[in-house]
């Protein structure tokens, strides 16, 4: 397993070592010892799974501190374009985004620390998205940022149809108006 550093400090793209043969494949999707060697000491408390069809766009979501969640995200079926936005006040990359394709083929995972808004767009016919989180879902702390905020400028994929959004995501606030309580701390 290896951790590929991204242009945004704290984000780690993880590529597992996959063992394949005629029977199929095997890989470790999480190993506490290996992750701690990457500097990831998160204590995951909940696993979530969602299944969505092509064009569904979920996000950009986060929970306010002290209910913030770090996430380890991956795809077990299909493919998504996964996006995170740095919302840590004082960060040199505040308001910047990073996107990567996660799929059942590439088996990549993305570690998203606290202080990031997260979302994904389904680019295959169907996708099953998995994420481990470090804090329980807390409705009163649940927040979102508008998926197409021009100030952020995310370059979502063209999948041939308009994004399919929840009312919550369609009506989210732009970053400039969003409630944020994350402060960047130099590692």
- What CATH code is carried by the domain that includes residue 99? 2.60.120.10
Q: Whole-model pTM above 0.85?
A: yes
For the segment 152-167, the average pLDDT, to the nearest whole number, is 97
Concatenate the DSSP letters of all residues of 91-106 into one string.
Answer: -TTTT-EEEEEEETTT
pLDDT of 83 strictly over 90: yes
Give Cβ neighbours of residue 104 (< 8 Å, ≥ 6 apart): 75, 76, 77, 78, 79
How many structural domains is the chain composed of?
1
Dump pLDDT digits (tens) for 106-137: 999 999 999 999 999 999 999 999 999 999 99
The band of 81, judged by pLDDT with boundaries at 50, 70 and 90, is very high
Rounded to whole angstroms, the Cα distance separating 114 from 62 reads 8
- Is 118 noted as a catalytic residue in this protein? no
Dump pLDDT digits (tens) for 161-170: 999 999 999 9
Question: Quick check: is 13 in a domain?
Answer: no
Question: Quick check: is 3 in a domain?
Answer: no
Which domain range does residue 91 map to? Answer: 42-177
The residue from 27, 30, 61, 118 that is catalytic is: 61
pLDDT of 3 strictly over 90: yes
The residue from 62, 111, 118, 131 that is catalytic is: 131
């Amino acid at each position: 397993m290896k951790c590929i550093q991204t242009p945004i400090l704290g984000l780690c793209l993880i590529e597992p070592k996959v063992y394949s043969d005629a029977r199929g494949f095997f890989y470790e999707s999480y190993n506490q010892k290996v992750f701690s060697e990457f500097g990831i000491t998160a204590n995951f408390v909940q696993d979530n799974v969602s299944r969505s069809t092509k064009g569904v766009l979920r996000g950009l979501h986060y929970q306010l501190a002290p209910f913030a969640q770090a996430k380890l995200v991956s795809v077990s079926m299909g493919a998504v374009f996964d996006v995170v936005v740095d919302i840590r006040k004082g960060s040199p990359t505040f308001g910047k985004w990073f996107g990567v394709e996660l799929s059942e083929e590439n088996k990549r995972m993305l570690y998203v620390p606290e202080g990031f808004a997260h979302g994904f767009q389904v680019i295959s016919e169907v996708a099953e998205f998995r994420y481990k989180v470090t804090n329980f879902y807390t409705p009163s702390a649940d927040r979102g940022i508008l998926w197409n905020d021009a100030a952020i400028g995310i370059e979502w994929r063209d999948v041939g149809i308009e994004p399919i959004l929840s009312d919550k995501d369609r009506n989210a606030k732009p970053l400039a108006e969003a409630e944020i309580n994350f402060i960047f701390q130099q590692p």
